Amino acid sequence: MLFSFRFMFFVLIQLLGFILTASIQAKNDPQTTSIPYVSDAVTIDGSLDERFWKSAHTLPLKMSQPIYGNPPSTETTVKVAHSGNAIYVGGYFKYNSSDINDRQLSRDDLDYSSDLFGVVIDGYNDKKSANVFITSPSGNKTDLAVTDDAEFSKNLNWNTFWTVKVNREDTYWSFEMRIPLSSLQYQKKDGKVVAGLSVWKYSADNNEFDTYPLISNDYGNDSYFKPSKTAAFSFNTDIGTKSKPLFVTPYFLGGYDHEQLNSGDNHGQFSPNIGIDAKYKLSSNFTLDATVNTDFAHVEDDNQQINLTRFPLHREEKRTFFQERAGLFSFNTGGPTNLFYSRRIGLTDEGRDVPIDGGVRLTGRAGRWDIGALSLQSAPKYGNEGESFGVIRVRRNLSDDRSTYVGFMSTSRVSQSNVYNLAYGVDMVWEGDRDLFITGRYSHTFDDPDSSGYTRGWLNNTNMLIKAERKSYIGFFYKFSINRMGQSYNPGLGFVDRTDFTRYGDRIAYGWEAPKHSFIQKSQLITDAHIYVGNTSNKMESSSILIKNYTSFKSGFVIQFGVKHQTEHLTTGYNLSERVSIPAGQYGFEEVFVKFSTSKGSRLRLDASTSVGGFFDGKGVGTVISPEWSINPNFELSGDMEYYNINFEERGQLYRSLLLRGRLDVKPAPNISISGLAQYNSLTNVTSSFARFRFNIADGSDLFLVYRFGQNNTPFEQLHLNDPVEIHSLQAKFNYTFQY
pLDDT tens digits, one per residue of 52-105:
999 999 999 999 999 999 999 999 999 999 998 899 999 999 987 767 888 777
For range 586-597, the mean pLDDT: 97
Work out the widest C-alpha separation in the chain, in whole angstroms: 79
DSSP label of 72: P
Q: CA dihedral defined by 17, 19, 25, 31, rounded to 10 degrees?
A: 60
Supply the pLDDT for residue 221: 87
Q: Does domain 500-664 sit in CATH 2.30.30.140?
A: no
pLDDT of residue 450: 61
**Number of CB atoms found within 10 A of residue 48's CB:** 20
CA 264, distance to chain mean position in Å, is 43
Looking at this protein, which amino acid is placed at residue 204?
A: A
Q: What is the model's pLDDT at position 170?
A: 84
CA distances from 280 to 32, 367, 603 (A): 30, 20, 42
Determine if residue 113 is left, alpha or beta; phi over 0 gives left, psi from -120 to 50 gives alpha, anything else beta. alpha
Give 601: exposed, middle or buried? Use CB within 10 Å, 0-12, 13-18, 19+: buried
By mean pLDDT, which of 21-25, 198-202, 571-575 is the weakest? 21-25
- What is the average pLDDT across 539-561? 96
Q: Model confidence over 447-495: pLDDT tens digits?
A: 876 655 555 667 899 999 999 999 888 899 999 999 999 999 999 999 9
> Does residue 28 register a pLDDT over 70?
no
Arithmetic mean of pLDDT, 500-510: 95
Least confident piece of the model among 4-13, 216-225, 682-691: 4-13
pLDDT in tens, 306-333: 777 777 777 788 888 888 888 899 999 8
Query: What pLDDT, on a 0 to 100 scale, did the predictor assign at position 382?
Result: 79
Q: Which of 546, 542, 524 is nearest to 593 (CA)?
A: 546
Handedness of CA 604, 103, 297, 373 (dihedral sign): positive
DSSP three-state, residue 434? coil
In this predicted structure, the answer to whether residue 116 has a pLDDT above a threshold of 70 is yes
Weakest-pLDDT range from 24-33, 91-100, 153-162: 24-33
Position 533 pLDDT exceeds 60: yes
**658 beta partners:** 643
Buried-state track 296-332, b at ≥16 Cβ within 10 A, e below 16: bbbbebeebebeeeeeeeeeebbbbbbbbbbbbbbbb
Confidence band for 263, pLDDT divided at 50, 70 and 90:
low
Identify the band that residue 716 occupies on the pLDDT scale cut at 50, 70 and 90. low
The domain ranges of the chain are 31-235, 244-304+683-740, 500-664
pLDDT of residue 721: 60
Strands (E), 598-634: 604-615, 618-632
Residue 717 has a pLDDT of 60
Which are the contacts of 700, defined by CB distance < 8 A and separation ≥ 6?
A: 159, 161, 247, 249, 735, 736, 737
Instruction: Provide the pLDDT for residue 363.
Output: 95
The DSSP bridge pattern shows strands 33-35 and 231-235 to be parallel
CA distances from 145 to 39, 180, 326, 415 (A): 30, 16, 9, 33
Contact 193, 35 (CB under 8 A): no
Which helix or strand (DSSP H or E) is residue 588 part of? strand 585-597
Quick one: pLDDT band at residue 14, thresholds 50, 70, 90?
very low
Return the bridge partners of 620, or none.
613, 646
Could you tell me if 35 and 80 are in contact, meaning their C-beta atoms sit under 8 angstroms apart? yes
Q: Which of 272-276, 525-529, 543-547 has the lowest mean pLDDT?
A: 272-276
3-state secondary structure of 462: strand
Q: How many Å apart are CA 528 and CA 478, to the nearest integer?
A: 9
Q: Determine which of 15-19, 501-505, 670-674 has the lowest per-residue pLDDT on average.
A: 15-19
Residue 230 pLDDT greater than 50, yes or no: yes
- Collapse the DSSP code of 379 into the 3-class scheme (helix H, G, I; strand E, B; otherwise coil) and give the result: coil
Contact by Cβ (8 Å): 719, 733:
no
**Does the pLDDT value for residue 351 go beyond 60?**
yes
Choose the weakest-confidence range: 200-209, 446-455, 532-541, 570-579. Answer: 446-455
Closest of 104, 45, 137 to residue 673, by C-alpha? 104
d(CA 107, CA 111): 11
Cα–Cα distance measured from residue 284 to residue 624, given in angstroms and rounded to the nearest whole number: 46
Q: Is 541 helix (H, G, I), strand (E, B) or coil?
A: strand
**Least confident segment among 231-245, 405-419, 420-434, 639-653:** 231-245
pLDDT score for 448: 72
The 3 state secondary structure assigned to 288-328 is EEEEECCCCCCCCCCCCCCCCCCCCCCCCCCCHHHCCCHHH
Domains 31-235 and 500-664 in one fold: no
Q: Is 31-235 a domain of CATH 2.60.40.1190?
A: yes
- Average pLDDT in the chain: 88
- The mean pLDDT value for 182-208 works out to 89
What is the percentage of the chain residues whose pLDDT exceeds 90?
61
Rounded distance, CA 653 to CA 262, Å? Answer: 29
